[in-house]
A and B are shown apart, each in its own frame.
Chain A
Amino acid sequence: MAVATLPHGAAAAHGDHGEVDQLYVETRALRLQGFLLFLVSDCVLFSSFIFAYLYMRNSGQGWPPAGINHLDVAFAAVNSVVLFGSGATMHYALENWKHNNFGKYAFFMIATIILGAMFLAGQAYEYTNLYFKEHVSWAGSGIFGAGFFTLTGMHGFHVTVGVIYLTVLFLQSVHGVYTKDKYFGLTAGTLYWHFVDVIWVALFSIFYLI
């Protein structure tokens, strides 16, 4: 049963003697499903805080409260493009790995890591601006501060973990941990990175657009 549900890529995996490496195929199926479920529960964590923020917004005296016009939407939009761009480069990195194109893989992987780091730098700039110029803080600015810094902070933490994770994956791939047929770590890294992108779509919408 486990065998029948495999994606095409893994089913074609070959062992040392030209046979299907059944252990790898089955283990990969387990890990893929487990990782996806982990992302689902992580998504629930974000959703709960998003619910909390929107609930507080709608239970108050109207939104936005007087004197709140602090967010630099244009800057955040550019920063978002940086993050979404890293999603695209990650996609190409994995595709090139699958097609045994190590040079291009390395280029796109490093680009992803750099773009991720740039996004974090942009977020740090935004935080310092808010805190020192606009005097918006986590604990001192009511529900906006609580919601904004908690959610974007959680997301930033996920991006930080992602940048470290991708760096480790890259070093592993340089040292030959993954092969053309066995690269589950890279698949997981790609899934995680896309997940972080999707969460940002939701956060950008609730904080900057509506």
Chain B
Amino acid sequence: MSTTAEHAGGIAGHIHPEPQGFIRRYVFSIDHKIIGIQYLITGFVFLVLAGLLAEIIRTQLLHANGGFVSNDVYNEVYSIHGSAMVWLVVIPIVTGAFGNIIMPLQIGARDVAFPWLNMLSFWIFPVAGLMLFSSFLMGAPVAGWTEYPPMSLLGGPGTSMWAAAIFLVGVSSTLTGINFVVTMFQMRAPGMTFTRMPLFCWAQLATAPLLMIATTALAAALAALFMERQFGVPFFDPTKGGSPIMWQHMFWFYSHPAVYIMVLPMFGAISEIIPTFARKPIFGYKMIAFSSMAIALAGFMVWAHHMFTSGLAPYLQLPFMILTFTIAIPTGVKFFSWVATLWGGKIHYTSSMMFALAFVALFTFGGLTGVFLAAVPFDLHVHGTYWIVGHFHYVLVGGSLTGIFASTYFWFPKFAGRMLNETLGKIHFWLFFIGVNMTFLPQHWLGSLGMPRRVPEYDPQFQTWNDVSSIGSYIMTLGILVFFVNVLVSMRNGKKAPPNPWGARTLEWQIPSPPHYYNFKHIPTVFGLPYDFSQPLPYKGLEEELTDSPVHAGAH
């Protein structure tokens, strides 16, 4: 272990002066906090766009005969809605935004390992996003976000643009993953062993290898699809010797781990928020940390549970079914740890905590329906129906998006320096919570009755629950509008945020809000876990953080 003195001449003692021009400071910034905020803003812009597409879908489905948009446009709309939500909203926000803003602060570093690479990762992302949406101009993909061949081989020219855009987002993710792994391995403050690292960082550490490895596998599939569409190279077309099933293997080898890319970081955020507002040490710190790793590892061995109807050999179905069941164990470990943390705690019902509690409930529901789906006989019944749509929206909206809101209410004071309005937060919460359940719960019933997904019109017997679902989605959207109003108003007129408004114990709360360019005046030394409420803080060297004294840069 190194001492503070040893660090003085190294990276921690080496501070570049803060750039002064607007462009270098806010546009092409290399500061992890600014880059994180850029990710957050860009991700929210894409959330609005992809959310509008969702409302087109729900409006179309208000009537059994559709009629709001043409069937061809409808196909394009749900394809881009899914792609944008996964790759342009959830993944960039949970890793690029919150990972970037919070992780280096929590480990006591001045920045990520490769700040320039970080800037590159960010700037690839909006470019790829514009490419994805521009595919509407040339005939967007129509085969859903999964783009199975042979449909994707027949889709409009925009399908190639789609592949290129997702490939680029993948490059950005891969670079972020590399950056985060190296940062967490090499740049923790003195004394911060892995078993003292905050759980949010553990979650990012479990996610980063998925970003690096799974995303690259997807890149190969996308490149192959692009080559086949543009140059006729036979990978997936069965008439030329290719195999459409191979796409499913390659796609799900990425996209099952991608589920964990989208939710593991939020598991980490919830593990910070719940102990803070229950005023109790987190229950089972090591179990939560290691279960993240177990989930990340097991996530690579279950992809074929998406392919039970594709003619997968029965002797392969059984192991994939059982392995998928076993992932419920580490997930259950987390669930019980959170509940045990709440047990007997003095719970503060802030907006952030309400969203965190909703996360626990909604994600558990989505997780349980996932266990149903892993069972081959049940999966054969509901595959390709609205049951699936209901399931994964509970995971992604009830899980990831709810987690994103919980994290935003929690960390906004830190990175923006202003408090969000709690009343608007509560209104947002109730509209969103009621809306989510109203939208996605009935879809399970529609699916088990046999309503297929991705259809522009349906049998009139499904009308009632579709209407309930659509009205629910309007309520949810209203809630999200309240959230954006809250953010925009509070950004300028909110109460000034104190350094530690929630009484939290991780490092980012021990420095000013927003933090200085260099984060810490003095890199602190860490003596223990950050969760022992009622004990003194386990840090040394933070005495000057909230005073006017100058930064200790390289002065040794």
Contacts of B382 in A (CB 8 A): none
B220 touches which of A29, A52, A140 (Cβ 8 Å): A52
Chain B residue with the shortest CB-CB distance to A154:
B223
Cβ of A33: which chain B residues have Cβ within 8 Å of it? 181-182, 185-186
Contact indicator B10/A25 (Cβ below 8 Å): yes
Interface residues of B in 196-226 (CB under 8 A from A): 212-213, 215-217, 219-221, 224
| Pick from B213, B240, B242: contact of A44, CB under 8 Å | B213
Query: Is there contact, CB below 8 Å, between A142 and B241?
Result: yes
Let me know if B10 and A23 touch, CB within 8 A: yes
Task: Give residues of chain A (51-81) contacting chain B, Cβ–Cβ below 8 Å.
Answer: 51-52, 55-56, 59-60
CA of A45 to CA of B250 in the docked complex: distance in angstroms?
A: 11
Considering residues A29, A34, A59, which has the most beta carbons from chain B within 10 angstroms of its beta carbon? A34
A33 to B179, CA, bound (A): 10
Q: Say yes or no for B474: interface residue by CB 8 A criterion.
A: no
Q: Does B187 contact A (CB under 8 A)?
A: yes
- Inter-subunit contact B6/A3 (CB<8 Å): yes
Q: How far is the CA of A146 from the CA of B243 in the complex (A)?
A: 12
Stretch of A35-43, A125-133, A190-198 that contacts chain B: A35-43
Which residues of the partner chain B approach A150 to less than 8 Å between Cβ atoms?
224, 227, 233
Return chain A residues, CB-CB under 8 Å to B240: 142-143
Known contacts A26-B10, A41-B212, A59-B243; A52/B224 CB under 8 A: yes
- CA gap between A70 and B406 in the complex, in Å: 61
Can you list, as one digit per residue, whether each of B5-18 has a CB less than 8 Å from chain A (1) or not (0)? 01111110110000
Give the bracket for the number of chain B residues in contact with chain A.
35 or more
B241 partner, pick from A22, A23, A34, A143, beta carbons under 8 A:
A143
Is residue B190 contacting chain A, with contact meaning CB distance below 8 A? Answer: yes
CA distance A16 to B377 in the complex (A): 71
Q: How many whole Å from B174's CB to the nearest CB in chain A?
A: 5
How many Å lie between the Cα of A116 and that of B2 in the bound state?
Answer: 42
A56 B224 Cβ-Cβ under 8 A: no
Question: Contacts A41-B178, A49-B224; is A56 near B233 (CB within 8 Å)?
Answer: no
With a cutoff of 8 Å between Cβ atoms, the chain A residues found around residue B7 in the complex are: 22
Asked if A44 meets B241 with Cβ closer than 8 Å, knowing A23-B10, A33-B182, A143-B234, the reply is no
- Do B2 and A4 touch (CB < 8 A)? yes
Do the beta carbons of A26 and B11 come within 8 Å of each other? yes
CB neighbours (8 Å) of A34 from chain B are 113-114, 117, 178-179, 182
- The answer for the CA separation of A195 and B227 in the assembled complex, in Å, is 25
Could you tell me the distance in whole angstroms from the C-beta of B257 to the nearest C-beta in chain A? 12
Which residues on B sit within 8 Å (CB–CB) of A140? 232
B243 contacts A1, C-beta separation under 8 Å: no
Residue A48 interfacial (CB < 8 Å): yes
Q: Residues of B contacting A149 with CB < 8 Å?
A: 233
Known: A56-B241, A59-B246, A142-B241. A30 touches B113 (CB 8 A): yes
Which residues of A are found within 8 Å of B227, using beta-carbon distances?
A: 146, 150
- Of all chain A residues, which has the CB nearest B221? A48
Interface check A187, CB cutoff 8 A? no
B249 within 8 A of partner (CB)? yes
| A164 interface contact, C-beta 8 A | no
Say yes or no: is A172 at the interface (Cβ < 8 Å to chain B): no
Q: Is A121's beta carbon under 8 Å from chain B? A: no
Counting CB contacts under 8 A, is A210 at the interface?
A: no
- Within the complex, which residue of B13, B216, B234 is in contact with A45, where a contact is CB–CB below 8 Å? B216
B residues within 8 A CB of A47?
217
Are B178 and A146 touching (Cβ within 8 A)? no
**Does any Cβ of B come within 8 Å of A101's Cβ?**
no
A207 beta carbon closer than 8 Å to chain B: no
Interface centre among A29, A41, A59 (most CB of B within 10 A): A41
Contact residues in B for A41 (Cβ distance below 8 Å): 174, 177-178, 212-213, 215-216
Given A2-B187, A26-B10, A33-B186, residue A138 in contact with residue B233 (CB < 8 A):
yes
Cβ contacts under 8 Å, B10 to chain A: 2-3, 22-23, 25-26
Closest CB-CB distance, B169 to chain A, in whole Å?
A: 15
Within B483-509, which residues are at the interface with A (CB < 8 Å)? none
Selected from A55, A56, A138, A142, the residue in CB contact (under 8 A) with B231 is: A138
Does B23 make an interface contact (CB < 8 A)? no
Q: Which residues of A contact B213 (CB under 8 A)?
A: 40-41, 44
Closest 8 A-B residue pairs measured CB to CB? Answer: A48-B220, A22-B9, A142-B241, A22-B10, A44-B216, A139-B232, A26-B10, A143-B241
**Extra inter-chain contacts (7) besides given A44-B220, A48-B250, CB under 8 Å:** A2-B187, A30-B114, A37-B178, A41-B174, A41-B216, A59-B246, A60-B241
11 contacts between A and B (CB under 8 A): A2-B186, A3-B10, A19-B9, A22-B10, A30-B186, A34-B178, A41-B177, A41-B213, A45-B216, A52-B224, A150-B227
